[in-house]
Amino acid sequence: MRIRIDGGRLLHSQTGELYGASVCYDDVTGKITAIGDETIPADKVETLQGELILPGFIDMHVHLRDPGFTAKETLTSGLQSAAAGGFTHVACMPNTNPPTDAAEIVRDITTRGRDVGKTSVHPIACITVSQKGEALTDFAQLKEAGAIALSDDGKGVQHGRRMLDAMTRAKELDMPIVIHSEDETLSGNGVLHPEAAKRIGVPGLLEESEAAMIARDILLAERTGVHLHVCHVSTEQSVALIRWAKARGVHITAEVTPHHLLLTEALITEDDAVWKVNPPLQGERDRMACLEGFLDGTLDMIATDHAPHTVDEKSRGILRAPFGMVGSEVAFPLLYTYLVLPGIVPLSRLVEAMTRVPATHFGIDGGAMHVGGTADFAIVDLTKEKEIDPDRFYTRGRNTPFAGWRATGWTARTIHLGREIFIAGEERFI
């Protein structure tokens, strides 16, 4: 059946302007069949009230916690949460139990993810067996099973020579190495930015631990030619190093999270683990450098680092609670409301960083709107403003410091491969 959506607004990929247009797609082939006006023939017509029809969002960094930590999240709840945030593709990190270090685990996530019938999931497999930082996993088998990239996210690969071996092998197989940059000899048992740590009375986590590791891996990426992707960049020094690496022609990409673009350590005035995230919220100078890096393309894409934990775990105080914040459902509304509306970031930059850019760098079929392309849409309502209420989340996680913030730009509907995977207000099935 050919379905035509009238009354929506599209973002012009060249000019960055919004314009009214009708989009027609086939719900059997899952392809866009026409972009034009209300005269395009169709079997069914739906009419919007000026909502944006954006390409489905792509998030290269989520934690779905399945297998092993299903009290925090399941494939079902995590992918439903992603769909509710307008995402049609997510890449999930391997710090599950068991960790994604073997082909059968990659296949299990892919198969069960497909069965959920929501957002597509692309497993990122471990660099080292059990994420122990020692023996390398079998990259060829992991790739063959469908792993999109390799990472030990949650911790960094501490041993330099082993990372060099990993990059050499990954380059041969044309697989990206995705790094959680943390030199543990510097970060130690730190939990917050040193300033905030002093206020709360917990150990500080040195900002330098991030850039130190990025510097090492840039050098190794230059030597090996691997595609190096840097997770959740948070400091001014890291941005400067990545900018330098790009100028040298190193094959490097980087992501920044909504929380590192919007929050700083100065907000942490009481011992509430809702603020605890790795890398930690940094200083205002770091936040501004991330913003600048995001605007000039040094930080290529937005990734949420959606990291759900249980209410119980997050009630243990900053020292004892696990690191992490949820992100899938609030990413676009927060960035739209607090960066695009005040004129800090152009809408076109935000949208490309959540669509075309990750699609291009990771070879995902999506991220653009053109005839013959995949019918993947985030239909976004810019008129409805509401308060962020974690109790209404689709994710099992409630851990967000943005609770109570007002935002607009909520996803009204998400369409993936021509099928509706989310309608605002739909029932949660967890």
277 binds, among ligand NCD, Zn ion, none (CB under 5 to 8 A by kind): ligand NCD
Nearest-5° Cα angle at 428, 424 to 430? 160
Sign (positive or negative) of CA dihedral 199, 303, 338, 16: positive
Site for Zn ion in 203-232 (CB under 5 A): 231
115 is in an annotated binding site: no
Cβ atoms of 54 and 380 within 8 Å: the answer is yes
Coil/strand/helix, residue 215: helix
Footprint on residues 147-176 left by Zn ion (CB under 5 A): 153
Q: Establish whether 323 is an annotated binding residue.
A: yes
Which of ligand NCD, Zn ion, none sits in contact with 324, Cβ below 5 to 8 A by type?
ligand NCD
Q: E strands, 17-148, where? A: 18-26, 31-36, 44-47, 52-55, 57-62, 87-92, 120-125
The reply, when asked if residue 153 is annotated as ligand binding, is yes
255 token code pair: 């992501």
Shorter beta-carbon distance to Zn ion: residue 152 or 381: 152
Has 272 been annotated as catalytic? no
For the chain, what is the radius of gyration of the CA atoms?
21
Residues 139-168 that bind ligand NCD (CB under 6 A): 153-154
Give the span between the Cα atoms of 421 and 87, in whole angstroms: 10
What does the alpha-carbon distance between residue 196 and residue 268 come to, in Å, rounded to a whole number?
A: 6
Out of 323, 341, 348, 368, the only residue in the binding site for ligand NCD (CB under 6 A) is 323
Site for Zn ion contains 259 (CB under 5 A): no
Is 180 assigned a ligand-binding role in the annotation?
Answer: yes
Q: Is 73 in the site for Zn ion (CB under 5 A)?
A: no
Amino acid at 31: K
- List helix spans (H) across 117-207: 139-145, 160-173, 184-187, 194-200
Binding flag, residue 395, ligand NCD (CB under 6 A): no
**Contacts with Zn ion: how many residues (CB under 5 A)?**
4
User: Of 8, 10, 34, 63, which one interacts with ligand NCD (CB under 6 A)?
Assistant: 63
286 binds ligand NCD per the rule CB under 6 A: no
Known binding positions = 61, 63-65, 95, 153, 180, 232, 278, 305, 309, 323-324
Active site residues: 305
Question: Rule CB under 5 A: which residues touch Zn ion?
Answer: 153, 180, 231, 305
Known binding positions for substrate = 63-65, 95, 278, 309, 323-324
